[in-house]
């Protein structure tokens, strides 16, 4: 029996507290050994020192809204949202913001908006997603087609290491530290020597949140690029400095109706020249979910196979109108119809259909659960039609309905599986579907994770994605940053656990108190990820 850590914040081993942190977004339910809510950074250092002494794994966690399972695990779940010293500073002249990790994107947006500034990446979970979590997964969102992922917007990070050292990492410079010295001695030379291998093996996609970002590190020379997207496996990020961007004065949109996906790549290619800020695909499977009445109300015919939603932003109203008209003309030859919205309210109406599916998915009967198993594949844009076809074939073969939508401008598709969980043995076909679609992603030159991170769900796919030599480099990075392996084991680097196991639904689900199970389901259904889980236990 281990002694508890000498922390000032909450440390709980009772079953109710552990159950409250057994789930996040995504498919898993894993009861941790304990949960901890450090009081501040010094308390976090104390916890890490205790974990290092006793070889206890730590699972860093913000709101718990990440999909891949990186926010649950067998060790001590570390809830970072309760630490004091909260910071949200806006430097309007320098167009910068400094935030602590537990600040949400919504809070940063609200603070920056009065100055005409914003952080452009906009994941749909932004109302509760913490900025530390966004760094950890290299999050993106609908506007990634123009603005990229969070990586290009991060200027500095403060990291607490496995040795309890507080390290400052910045673009172009970093403070001296044992961590950086060890990395530059033990790992950097081998990574640099493998630059050609890395260039050959990394996916040629517009975005990638899978593995450690060796390619980004080689391009920039900045160690912080390895921390972005590392999912808390290399240390715990406590503070971030962000670059901000001006909010364009005018916004408008298009809705492109397609009777076939054969020319999806042509449509996307034609729209690139107008620098869209968002370029989203809603597949027929998504539209079917809405039903004929909703489609008719939205002005959509039942015969279309997909729609593409386009957002354009400009600082000049007339320039925006002309760009919208030219974009409409550019895709007219492949579309059955093109709807234009010249004002933000009109654009919101066009985009309302994009937000309608989540409540419908949440309202499905308990026997038809929406599971995010193959939900983050990203392929070269010109391969997106092939990827959609591969998902459809696999879904039909394994008799599992799917709903598909995603970021067409990046070749990035989100897929929700809708298995009948009342059917005996449904987990087997889900696992085989996952394998088949992963093979298709790799065959098409893609990445298993475009923006959500590997977590424990996709960690086992990295050997096939990158090959054994690159996986060895990933292990080298992990060893340099976390020699004892206490930070989030089984995330990014596989543990051997089957990905479709330890689920939050099914015959083998871990038992937890009924009231906590209901509360966790309510959070999942209604997006209540901002709620402190200890409230459920108490």
- Write b or e for each residue in 74-95: b if 16 or more Cβ atoms lie within 10 A of its Cβ, otherwise e: bbbbbbbbbbeeeebebeeeeb
Q: How sure is the predictor about 356, in pLDDT bands with cuts at 50, 70 and 90?
A: confident
**CA–CA dist 76, 58 (Å, integer):** 5
CB 50 within 8 A of CB 57: no
Overall average pLDDT of the 481-510 stretch: 94
Q: Is the pLDDT of residue 203 over 80?
A: yes
SS3 62: coil
- Beta-carbon contacts of 324 under 8 Å, excluding residues fewer than 6 positions away, are 252, 253, 254, 312, 340, 342
Q: Are strands 10-12 and 173-174 parallel, antiparallel or unpaired?
A: unpaired
What pLDDT is attached to residue 483? 96
Nearest 5°: the CA angle 290, 296, 301 is 95
**CA–CA dist 385, 443 (Å, integer):** 14
**477's tokens:** 């990075």
- DSSP code string of 422-455: TSTTTHHHHHHHHHHHHHHHHHTT-BS-SSS--T
Q: Phi/psi of residue 226, each to 5°?
A: -75, -25
Among candidate residues 397, 375, 377, 376, the one with its CA nearest the CA of residue 386: 377
Q: Are strands 173-174 and 166-170 parallel, antiparallel or unpaired?
A: antiparallel
What pLDDT is attached to residue 440? 97
Q: Is the pLDDT of residue 359 over 80?
A: no
Q: Is the pLDDT of residue 242 over 90?
A: yes
CB 482 within 8 A of CB 234: yes
- Beta-carbon contacts of 238 under 8 Å, excluding residues fewer than 6 positions away, are 41, 44, 80, 83, 100, 101, 132, 158, 159, 160, 166
**285's tokens:** 């499977």
pLDDT 10s digits, 367-395: 888 999 999 999 999 999 999 999 999 99
pLDDT 10s digits, 271-314: 999 999 999 999 999 888 888 877 887 778 778 899 999 999 99
Angle between helices 264-272 and 317-331 (to 10 degrees): 150
Q: Is the pLDDT of residue 166 over 80?
A: yes
CB 357 within 8 A of CB 286: yes
**267's tokens:** 């449509």
Q: Are strands 10-12 and 58-61 parallel, antiparallel or unpaired?
A: unpaired
What pLDDT is attached to residue 460? 96
What pLDDT is attached to residue 425? 93
Q: How sure is the predictor about 117, in pLDDT bands with cuts at 50, 70 and 90?
A: very high
**CA–CA dist 160, 238 (Å, integer):** 7
pLDDT 10s digits, 449-473: 999 999 999 999 999 999 999 999 9
What pLDDT is attached to residue 126? 84
Distance of alpha carbon 4 from the chain centroid: 33
- Beta-carbon contacts of 390 under 8 Å, excluding residues fewer than 6 positions away, are 436, 437, 440, 444
Local structure of residue 171 (DSSP, 8 states): T
Domains, in order of start, for the chain: 10-83+502-527 (3.30.43.10), 88-246 (3.30.465.10), 250-359 (3.30.70.2190), 364-472 (3.30.70.2740)
**Radius of gyration (C-alpha) of the chain in whole angstroms:** 23
Angle between helices 178-186 and 468-481 (to 10 degrees): 150
Overall average pLDDT of the 156-164 stretch: 95
Q: Is the pLDDT of residue 421 over 90?
A: yes
SS3 92: coil
Q: Is the pLDDT of residue 101 over 80?
A: yes
- Beta-carbon contacts of 401 under 8 Å, excluding residues fewer than 6 positions away, are 285, 395, 417, 418, 419
Q: Locate tokens 């020379």: which residue?
A: 221
Q: Is the pLDDT of residue 2 over 90?
A: no
Q: Locate tokens 């040629």: which residue?
A: 204
CB 131 within 8 A of CB 108: yes
Q: Is the pLDDT of residue 186 over 90?
A: yes
What pLDDT is attached to residue 455? 96
What's the Cα-to-Cα distance from 149 to each of 60, 61, 444, 516, rounded to whole Å? 21, 20, 22, 35
SS3 320: helix
Q: Is the pLDDT of residue 201 over 80?
A: yes
**CA–CA dist 272, 276 (Å, integer):** 7
pLDDT 10s digits, 322-349: 999 999 999 999 999 999 999 888 888 8
Overall average pLDDT of the 463-487 stretch: 97
Query: Model-level pTM?
Result: 0.95
What pLDDT is attached to residue 289? 84
Q: How far apart are the first and last CA of the chain?
A: 24
What's the Cα-to-Cα distance from 123 to each of 27, 278, 497, 516, rounded to whole Å? 19, 12, 29, 27
**CA–CA dist 533, 529 (Å, integer):** 9
CB 394 within 8 A of CB 436: yes
**CA–CA dist 448, 374 (Å, integer):** 8
Burial class (CB in 10 A: 0-12, 13-18, 19+), 234: buried
CB 24 within 8 A of CB 69: yes
Query: What's the mean pLDDT when you consider all of the chain?
Result: 94
What pLDDT is attached to residue 303? 81
Distance of alpha carbon 226 from the chain centroid: 16
């Amino acid at each position: 029996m281990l002694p508890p850590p000498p922390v000032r914040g909450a440390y709980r081993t009772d079953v109710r507290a552990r159950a409250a942190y057994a789930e996040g977004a995504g498919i898993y339910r894993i009861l941790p050994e304990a949960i901890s809510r450090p009081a501040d950074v010094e308390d976090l250092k104390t916890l890490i020192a205790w974990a290092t002494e006793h070889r206890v794994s730590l699972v860093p966690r913000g709101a718990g809204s990440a999909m891949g399972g990186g926010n649950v695990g067998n060790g001590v779940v570390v809830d970072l949202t309760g630490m004091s010293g909260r910071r949200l500073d806006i430097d309007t002249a320098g167009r910068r913001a400094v935030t602590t990790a537990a600040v949400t994107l919504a809070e940063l947006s609200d603070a920056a908006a009065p100055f005409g500034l914003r952080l452009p990446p906009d994941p749909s979970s932004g109302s509760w997603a913490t900025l530390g979590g966004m760094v950890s997964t290299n999050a993106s969102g609908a506007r990634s087609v123009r603005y990229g992922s969070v990586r290009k917007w991060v200027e500095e990070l403060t990291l607490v290491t496995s040795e309890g050292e507080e390290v400052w990492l910045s673009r172009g410079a970093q403070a001296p530290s044992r961590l950086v010295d060890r990395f530059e001695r033990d790992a950097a030379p081998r990574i640099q020597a493998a630059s050609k291998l890395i260039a050959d093996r990394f996916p040629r996609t517009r975005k990638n949140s899978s593995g450690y970002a060796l390619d980004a590190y080689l391009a920039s020379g900045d160690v912080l690029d390895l921390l972005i997207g590392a999912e808390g496996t290399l240390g715990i990020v406590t503070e971030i400095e962000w670059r901000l961007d001006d909010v364009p004065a005018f916004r408008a949109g298009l809705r492109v109706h397609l009777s076939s996906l054969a020319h999806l790549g042509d449509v996307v290619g034609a729209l690139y020249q107008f620098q869209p800020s968002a370029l989203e695909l809603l597949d027929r499977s998504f539209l079917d979910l809405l039903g004929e009445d909703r489609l008719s109300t939205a002005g959509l015919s039942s015969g279309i196979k997909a729609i593409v939603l386009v957002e354009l932003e400009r600082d000049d109203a007339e320039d925006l109108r002309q760009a919208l008209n030219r974009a409409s003309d550019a895709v007219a030859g492949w579309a059955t119809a093109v709807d234009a919205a010249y004002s933000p309210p009109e654009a919101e109406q066009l985009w309302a259909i994009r937000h309608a599916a989540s409540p419908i998915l949440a309202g499905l009967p308990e026997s038809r659960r929406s599971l995010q198993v193959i939900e983050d594949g990203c392929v070269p844009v010109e391969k997106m039609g092939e990827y959609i076809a591969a998902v459809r074939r696999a879904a039909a073969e394994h008799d599992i309905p799917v709903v598909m939508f995603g970021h067409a401008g990046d070749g990035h598709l989100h897929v929700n599986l809708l298995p009948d969980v009342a059917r005996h043995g449904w987990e087997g076909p889900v696992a085989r579907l996952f394998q088949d679609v992963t093979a298709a992603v790799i065959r098409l030159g893609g990445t298993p994770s475009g923006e959500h991170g590997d977590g424990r769900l996709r960690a086992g796919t990295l050997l096939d994605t990158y090959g054994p030599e690159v996986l060895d480099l990933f292990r080298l990075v992990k060893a340099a940053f976390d020699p004892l392996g206490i930070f989030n084991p089984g995330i990014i680097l596989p543990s051997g656990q089957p990905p479709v196991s330890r689920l939050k639904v099914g015959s083998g689900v871990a038992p937890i108190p009924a009231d906590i199970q209901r509360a966790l389901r309510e959070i999942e259904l209604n997006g209540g990820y901002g709620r402190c889980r200890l409230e459920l236990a108490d």
